[in-house]
Amino acid sequence: MLSTVITPAVVSVQAASGPNIDSSAESILIDDQLEKELAFNINQYILENDIGPEPSMIQPNSVSLGLLAALTLKYGSVFVTTTLPKLVFSTVGLSGTISQAAFIRIFNNALTASSQTAFNRIMANGLRSAGVNASTAESIAGSISAVVFLFL
């Protein structure tokens, strides 16, 4: 049983439209919606495929090993390096801007980070260098970072 998997609350958030909402407030709503959708899709996949940690392998300080090591201990290397980036790519909607293979390379490179800030920075820089505009790259990287660290 996957008792240690965090089940994020799924709340429907619709982007506000109207003359009273400025673009920064709308951007925050879209980021929140993306984070919730990412968390829901990842959690649903984990539950449907019975992916979970081996209780004897999880150490209280496993995060200090680094993001890649901590996630691999919990979910396995195939899920973390192959399936997870594909789930994230299909959710964030970058298919017209960047290829799935390029996104997986950027994602796996970012997994070598040891902190959420470093992960966010590496993702954003990788997305920008692949042709995603700066504000979109920052927004998507922040959402991905928040969700990935939720599953630690």
Write out the DSSP string of the chain: --TTS------------STT--HHHHHHHHHHHHHHHHHHHHHHHHHHTT----TTT--TTGGGG-HHHHHHHHH-HHIIIIIHHHHHHHHHT-TTTS-HHHHHHHHHHHTT-SSHHHHHHHHHHHHHHTT--HHHHHHHHHHHHHHHHHT-
Q: pLDDT at position 79, please?
A: 92
List, for residues 57-111, the tens digit of each pLDDT value. 444 444 445 788 888 888 888 999 999 999 999 988 888 889 999 999 999 999 9
| Residue 117 within a domain | yes
Q: pLDDT at position 98, please?
A: 92
What proportion of the chain, given as a percentage, has pLDDT over 90? 34
Question: CA–CA separation, 11 vs 34, rounded Å?
Answer: 11
| Residue 5 within a domain | no
pLDDT greater than 50 at residue 18: no
| Residue 126 within a domain | yes
Instruction: Enumerate residues 6+ apart whose C-beta is below 8 A from 143.
Output: 31, 34, 35, 38, 92
| Residue 67 within a domain | yes
Count of the separate structural domains present in the chain: 1
Q: pLDDT at position 129, please?
A: 94
| Residue 1 within a domain | no
| Residue 16 within a domain | no
Domain holding 145, by residue range, is 23-150
Instruction: State mean pLDDT over 127-139.
Output: 93
Q: pLDDT at position 52, please?
A: 65
| Residue 130 within a domain | yes
Identity of the residue numbered 19: P
Q: What's the pTM value of the predicted model, to 2 decimals?
A: 0.67
| Residue 32 within a domain | yes
